[in-house]
Every structure is written in C-alpha cells, then in structure tokens.
Amino acid sequence: MICFECGFQDPEKLNISMAFGVPLCHTHKKNIELVLSKIDGDYSLGILYYALKKIGLKPFIGWWNGQRHVPISFGRYRLNIEFYDPKLPHNHSLALQRQRNESFDHTHQFICIHLPTEFLNSYLENTVMLIFELHEGLRHYNA
C-alpha cells in the first residue's frame, strides 16, 4: 500500500493503515489525528477532508481565521465549511440565524457555509459534490 500524502510504499503493509478512507503512513495518520483533536473535530471530518482531496481539491483543515479554528477552508477561494449538531436543543434555529448573520464575513470577504454533522455521516458523497460545485463556482467567479 502507498501513503496517500507522501507516497511512502510499504510492501509488508506494516506501517500503513486505512485511516479516514485512504491509506496513510503512521506519521500522517498521527498528524491528522493531532489536528482533529486540536479543533475538536471527529473522525468523519477527517474522512470529508480526504474525500475532498481525492477529487482534486486542496482544502485546509483546522484553519485559524484569527478568531477560531474553521474545520474545512479553501483560502484562495475564500470559502469556509463549518458544521453544527442539529440534535442539540434550539441549535437548528440558532444555526439558521447564525447562517444568515455569518454567511459572509465582511471584514475578510469569506463565504461561510454551515452544514449539519449528519451530512458528514449519512450524505458524505452528496456533501463532497456540493462543496466541489461551490468551489468550482467560486473558482470561475474569482478568475
């Protein structure tokens, strides 16, 4: 197996594991787990990160925007992807209100999309395609 990040090839498959949906060497697996623990991200966020990388996008994970860590970000196209848990009481209405208020960061010109965490678990393929289409639309808009 070959590490998705660095191309390290281990014919005995001892130092490479299938983590986050892609083969990763021990070093890269440890690095992504460290980043996810710093930003309080879960395993499914790592799966989304690598799913986006598989289709050719270059996302940042755990991007620091000056105020907080953003789970997934595309700095060049000024697009942030954040997640919320809709199962928490009153969180859905608060998230919709926050989406209206924070969907465009006027000081830094970023577009911020808030998605429920169930999109990571149940609708990963659709979520990846949605983010891809947003990214491509912004790429052509900024060109």
Assess whether 19 and 50 both reside in one domain: no
pLDDT at 17 over 90: no
Q: Give the confidence band of 41 by pLDDT, cuts at 50, 70, 90.
A: confident
What pLDDT is recorded for position 63?
Answer: 79
Average pLDDT, the chain: 81
CATH number at residue 121: 3.40.960.10
Distance between CA 17 and CA 33 in Å, rounded? Answer: 13
Q: Are residues 33 and 48 in the same domain?
A: no
102 and 32 belong to one structural domain? no
CA distances from 100 to 77, 94, 116 (A): 20, 10, 15
> Within this chain, do residues 71 and 132 fall inside the same structural domain, yes or no?
yes
pLDDT digits (tens, 9 = 90+) for 125-143: 988 998 999 888 888 776 5
Domain coverage including residue 113: 43-142
| 74 and 106 within one domain | yes
Claim to verify: residue 51 and residue 34 sit in the same structural domain:
no
In the chain, the number of structural domains is: 2
Instruction: Reply yes or no on whether the pLDDT at 106 is more than 60.
Output: no
